[in-house]
Structure formats: C-alpha cells, structure tokens
C-alpha cells in the first residue's frame, strides 16, 4: 500500500510538471524533493506517537475500546478531519516561513533549511515520546521554522530578528499557541465543576473509577467513544494540516510553475484578475515615473521580497511584471496557458 501511494505521488507530480510545460534539465532537485517529502511524512508519523495517545487515552484506560481498535478508529477520523478541512492552517504554516526560503527552495540552501527544521522537530518528538513526556509538535514545528528563518538571515549578514521570520504571522500563531492551553484549562475545570454539581448524585457511575477489566455502562462508553471521535476529527482538521503545509511548501518551492499558480482558476474570475492587475500596474507605474528598467526586472523584485528594501529599480520592475502578467492572461485566456508558455525575455 505504501509503495502504491509513493507511485501515485510520483505520477501526480510528473503529470503536474508536464501540464505546466516545465523543462527538466536535471533530476537532482526531484531526488531531493522525494527525500524532503519522505522526511515530511516521517514528521507526521512521529507526530502520531504523541497525538494519538491524547485522543485514545480515556477509551483505553476505561476499557471502552480495545487499544488496537481505538488507535485505528482515531487515525481514521483524523484522516476524515484532514480531508474535510479548509486548508487555512496549512496556508498559515506556509506564510510563516520566510519568503526567501520559498524563493530559494530549489537551491541547496533552501533544501538544507527544510531538512534542518524537519529533522529538528522529529528529534524532539522522538525524544519526548521515548521519555514519556507529553509535548506539542505544533510548538516544536513553529520553533523549528522560526529558528531556520533567523539562522538563514544571520548567515546572509542581515538582522535575523527582523528579516528572518514573518513576525506578524508568527505573532498571531504565537497567541493561539499560548491561549489554547489556558482556554482548555479554564473550560475543562468549569465543565468538570458543573457536571459534578449537576450529575454526581444522579449518576455516580459517571465519576467512578473502572472496576477491574469491566467496561463502564454502555451509555458512558458511548460518551467516551464520541469524545474520542470528535477529538480525533478536529485534531485532523487543525493539527493534521501542518504536514499539508510542509508538503505545500516543498512542492511550491521545488516546482513553482506547477504549484505556485492556481492554474485551475475559472474563466469567470479571469476578467476580475486582469482588471485588478491593470489597476495595480497603474498605481505602481505612478510611483515608478522617471525610472526605466534595464535588463531583467525579476532580480529587483526578488531582492525586495527577500530583503524588504525599496530602491530605484523596485517600482518600475514591479510595474513591468504586473503588466506582463495581465497582458499574457488576456492573450492566452487562462493562467494554465500562461504557465505552459515560455516567458518573454526582457532586453
């Protein structure tokens, strides 16, 4: 089954690259892509050591379900949660990473940063699992991402505290990571107090410890299995998207022409896309008045994205690129056709 899954992934990537019209000149990046994807899957596998225990601990301890069945049950509803998720958490992971890392993903430095953050997170997760310490893989992964971002900026001679991480996104994620255990603590304590006050006398069995190997009454078992199911499902719909975000990052950075563009954009949105591009181009051209682009405009835009520094070539280069994209979409009719066409070379 694993071999069939890997073959399907390889075929899907090949089909997407072929549809994008990308010329393959070396197979080394694709070999590194395979290694990166395997490490990302390894992170998800190790992540299960911790998170599955969180979901199934109560049903196994109370003997509501056998351990092997509980683990499979939890994994199945984790998968359902991922499949029915919106992808918002995955996009949050991608936007947290330094834009420079995404731009350089095809280079050795980009791959090295991805390998570093994944392996660091795996080592920590395995270590805490081995010693039986509950730990959050989300905190571990976010810390690893911020670490490689800051280290990358420092190695390139820039201020790692300002340019290495998307700090506005990091602040939002940090607040969620900080508030979630506090929220869980307060809400769980309040619910326990209310339930013990209301139900302790009416249903004392609900608060009794298991007696030997005897399972609890059927209705209590139902409640425990339901909570296990919901925890697994919502864990998959949120936490399970971390792996999706990592895989998205790897694919976008390695084969940007196949995955960085939404080549399936419906024709109904093409006019809006062209109109927005034209309006943005006019605004940028107004700021670029008096300057001309000599040579390829892309390096100037890439430098701005990576270093957040505007110079005399930034606005005219951006105006040229935005205008080119608008013209090509208008000419070819869709982003899919633009991706398959050779880009126009600037003098």
Q: Residue 328 has what pLDDT?
A: 67
pLDDT (0 to 100) of residue 332? 53
d(CA 248, CA 340): 21
**Which of these, 74, 81, 79, lies nearest to 58 by C-alpha position?**
74
Give the pLDDT confidence score for residue 239 in this predicted structure.
80
- Reduced to 3 states (helix: H, G, I; strand: E, B; else coil), residue 214 is strand
Planar angle of CA 249, 17, 3, nearest 5 degrees: 75
Cα–Cα distance between 282 and 70 in angstroms, integer? 59
Write out residues in the chain with pLDDT < 50, as ranges. 341-347
The contacts of residue 267 (CB under 8 Å, 6+ apart) are 333, 334
Task: List phi, psi (to 5°) of 260.
Answer: -75, -25
Confidence (pLDDT) at 110: 67
End-to-end Cα, the chain, rounded Å: 52
Q: Contact at 8 Å (CB) between 215 and 61?
A: no
Strand (E) or helix (H) holding 130: helix 108-130
Nearest Cα neighbor of 313 from 302, 331, 328, 297 is 297
CA distance 253 to 263: 16
Is 163 within 8 Å of 153 (Cβ atoms)?
A: yes
Q: How far apart (Å, rounded) are the C-alpha atoms in residues 327 and 249? A: 28
Count other Cβ atoms within 10 Å, centred on residue 35: 14
Percent of the chain with pLDDT over 70: 75
From the CB of residue 10, how many other CB atoms can be counted at a distance below 10 Å? 14
d(CA 186, CA 163): 36
| The token pair that represents 156 in the structure block | 């390139």
Paired with 214 in beta bridges are 211
Q: What is the pTM of this model?
A: 0.69
Other CB atoms closer than 10 Å to residue 57's CB: what's the count?
13
DSSP 255: S
Phi, psi torsion values for 5, nearest 5 degrees:
-65, -40
pLDDT tens across 263-289, in order? 666 666 777 777 777 787 778 777 777
């Amino acid at each position: 089954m694993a071999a069939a899954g890997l073959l399907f992934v390889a075929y899907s990537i090949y089909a997407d690259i072929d549809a994008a019209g990308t010329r393959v000149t070396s197979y080394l990046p694709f070999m590194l892509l395979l290694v990166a994807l395997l490490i990302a899957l390894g992170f998800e596998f190790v992540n299960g050591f911790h998170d599955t225990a969180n979901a199934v601990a109560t049903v196994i301890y109370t003997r509501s379900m056998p351990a092997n069945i509980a683990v499979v049950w939890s994994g199945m509803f984790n998968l359902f949660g991922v499949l029915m998720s919106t992808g918002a958490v995955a996009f949050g992971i991608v936007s947290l990473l330094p834009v420079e890392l995404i731009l350089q993903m095809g280079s050795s430095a980009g791959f090295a940063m991805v390998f570093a953050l994944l392996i660091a997170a795996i080592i920590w997760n395995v270590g805490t699992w081995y010693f039986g310490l509950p730990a959050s893989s989300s905190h571990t992964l976010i810390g690893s991402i911020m670490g490689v971002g800051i280290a990358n900026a420092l190695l390139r001679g820039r201020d790692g505290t300002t340019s290495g991480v998307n700090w506005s996104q990091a602040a939002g994620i940090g607040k969620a990571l900080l508030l979630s255990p506090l929220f869980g603590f307060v809400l769980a304590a309040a619910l326990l107090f209310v339930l013990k006050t209301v139900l302790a006398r009416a249903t004392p069995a609900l608060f009794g410890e298991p007696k030997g190997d005897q399972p609890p009454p059927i209705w209590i078992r139902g409640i425990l299995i339901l909570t296990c199911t919901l925890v697994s499902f919502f864990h998959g719909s949120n936490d399970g998207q971390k792996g999706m975000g990592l895989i998205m990052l790897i694919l976008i950075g390695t084969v940007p022409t196949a995955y960085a563009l939404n080549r399936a954009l419906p024709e109904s949105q093409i006019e809006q896309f062209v109109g927005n591009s034209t309006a943005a181009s006019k605004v940028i051209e107004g700021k670029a008045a008096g300057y001309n682009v000599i040579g390829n405009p892309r390096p100037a835009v890439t430098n701005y994205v990576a270093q957040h520094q505007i110079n005399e070539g930034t606005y005219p280069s951006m105006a040229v690129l935005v205008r080119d994209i608008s013209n090509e979409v208008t000419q070819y009719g869709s982003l899919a056709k633009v991706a398959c066409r050779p880009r126009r070379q600037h003098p």
